[in-house]
Amino acid sequence: MEPTKILLSEQEIPTCWYNVLPDLPEPLPPLLHPQTKEPTRLPPPLFPRALDEQEFSQERTIDIPDEIMAIYKLWRPTPLIRAYRLEKALDTPARIYYKYEGVSPAGSHKLNTAVAQAYYNKKEGYKRLATETGAGQWGSALAMGCRFFDLECKVYMVKVSYYQKPYRRVLMETWGASVTPSPSQETQSGRAILSQDPESSGSLGIAISEAVEDAATHDDTMYSLGSVLNHVLLHQTVVGQEAKKQLEKVDAYPDIIVGCIGGGSNFAGVFLPFIPDKLSTKRDLRIICVEPEACPSLTKGPYTWDYGDVAGLAPIVKMYTLGHTFVPPKIHAGGLRYHGMAPIICHLYKLGIVEAKAVHQNPVFESAVLFARTEGIPPAPEPAHAVKVAIDEALACKESGEKKTILLALSGHGHFDLQAYDEYLAGRLEDYEYPREMVERALADLPRVE
Ligand SMILES: *Cc1c(COP(=O)(O)O)cnc(C)c1O
């Protein structure tokens, strides 16, 4: 029998990140400047030079600096686990493997880029990073990254999560970050929202505006984004390269790769290293992006130009979007609440290289509980979306008798999300139908780009 945990040694951690840009069959659309609407680099006062270079690089591989590698070794390589017990519970002939990023100190894949971003900012002499966080996973990852490179860290945390998830805030503060509920009185963008709606529960888009403004108005401060941008997806490719090596050790290759998409970084990190195979050998590999019905950008949004944030300070990108003023309903507990999606994922979806599915949160949590009861790990609500679709695919194999190999991106654990589990277990979780009217209203606010 194959091992349950497929491990690599420290020497087998990939030494470079994989950049998909030169391998794309058609070039990615440019980023547009929010005011001039002309093609732009990353906005100069916000990001260090090295990350801007990575954003547009045409090099297939980018070496991981030793200082970052030394920190990666605290939790990398992460395990690839054969889900024997889940397979048995489903009585499926499919082989399910999950790549587990929950072993990182922050509990998710986000440290892979947090450490890299803190490193490049430090190297270029900046003293402080400002960012936003939703559920708190990104904020906690960046808090640790900043701590390890002696940077100050300022986190604007979506207000509803700030109050619902106090332990994430405590984790950020333990690593030394300063955390403010957003919208706040500390920025113009925050004050503008509060004057219209003093009860605003906040959104990722609003928090991004506050963090961007903070960075733009402080010389020593840069902005840091935990998903969406090309350089963030790039840093996550360490995950997929490891998974590929681990599957090789047991002579396996996926028929299906499944992951959840919020801004797209964890899943891109897993599947991008498989894209050259898919394009060159025309391998019959399905890549399934899973999103919530309450925030279905790929499956329901138009492919168009939109701002990355509510205030229109971030660049305009071509993406599947629900509109930058869209705020997903508060009752949705499952994360993945961003209005848009990583341009790389949108481009691949447009080209038909990846597919997308939207799922409701009750079946998602049902799958998460089954996963916890068989494999032991309570998944974070986000990857629970992918668990649901992996289970559906495994059950389809049971019907058809096919012995497919499924690679599941398990981006983090749900130890800080037990409130959502509690609501599910108590039968209090509601499925939220696609909020068509809210989306139509938000789409009326799209920027005009000729
Ligand atoms: C943030 C987060 C996500 C969603 O963000 P992506 O950029 O789409 O990966 C998914 N899973 C976990 C555990 C997260 O913390």
pLDDT tens digits, one per residue of 114-139: 999 999 999 999 999 999 998 899 99
Ligand 1: nearest atom to the Cα of 101: 13
**Residue 372 confidence (pLDDT) above 80:** yes
Strongest mean pLDDT among 164-168, 255-259, 293-297, 334-338 = 255-259
1 alpha carbon to ligand 1 midpoint, in Å? 33
Question: Cα(398)–Cα(406) distance, rounded to whole angstroms?
Answer: 13
- Most ligand 1 atoms within 8 A of CB, residue of 133, 144, 336 to mutate: 336
- Ligand 1 pocket member 292 (CB < 6 A): no
What confidence tens digit (pLDDT) does each residue in 184-208 have? 999 999 999 999 999 998 888 889 8
Question: Cα(288)–Cα(23) distance, rounded to whole angstroms?
Answer: 20
- Most ligand 1 atoms within 8 A of CB, residue of 100, 101, 109, 238 to mutate: 109
4 alpha carbon to ligand 1 midpoint, in Å? 25
Smallest CA separation from ligand 1 atom 5, residue: 262
Instruction: Please state at what angle helix 361-375 crosses helix 381-400, rounded to 10 degrees.
Output: 80
- Most ligand 1 atoms within 8 A of CB, residue of 236, 265, 320 to mutate: 265
What confidence tens digit (pLDDT) does each residue in 328-370 have? 776 666 678 788 999 999 999 999 999 999 999 999 999 999 9
For 77-107+236-443, CATH number? 3.40.50.1100
pLDDT at 52: 96
236 alpha carbon to ligand 1 midpoint, in Å? 11
Pick from 231, 236, 293, 291: nearest CA to 268: 236
Tell me the pLDDT band of 164, cut-offs 50, 70 and 90.
Answer: confident
Smallest CA separation from ligand 1 atom 7, residue: 265
Whether the CB-CB separation of 86 and 96 falls below 8 Å is answered with yes
CA atoms within a 13 Å half-sphere pointing along the CA-CB vector of 286: 16
What confidence tens digit (pLDDT) does each residue in 260-305 have? 999 999 999 999 999 999 999 877 899 999 999 988 999 999 999 9
- Ligand 1 pocket member 412 (CB < 6 A): yes
List the domain boundaries for the chain: 17-65+108-223, 77-107+236-443
360 alpha carbon to ligand 1 midpoint, in Å? 17
- What average pLDDT does this structure show over 45-66? 96
pLDDT at 334: 67
Ligand 1: nearest atom to the Cα of 412: 13
Cis, peptide link before residue 77, omega less than 30° from 0: yes
Q: Decide: helix, strand or coil at residue 406.
A: strand
| Number of other CB atoms surrounding residue 98 within 10 Å | 27
Smallest CA separation from ligand 1 atom 9, residue: 266
- Ligand 1 pocket member 137 (CB < 6 A): yes
Q: Decide: helix, strand or coil at residue 295.
A: coil
For 17-65+108-223, CATH number? 3.40.50.1100
- What average pLDDT does this structure show over 244-271? 97
User: Which residue type occupies 225?
Assistant: L
Q: Do domains 17-65+108-223 and 77-107+236-443 have the same CATH topology?
A: yes
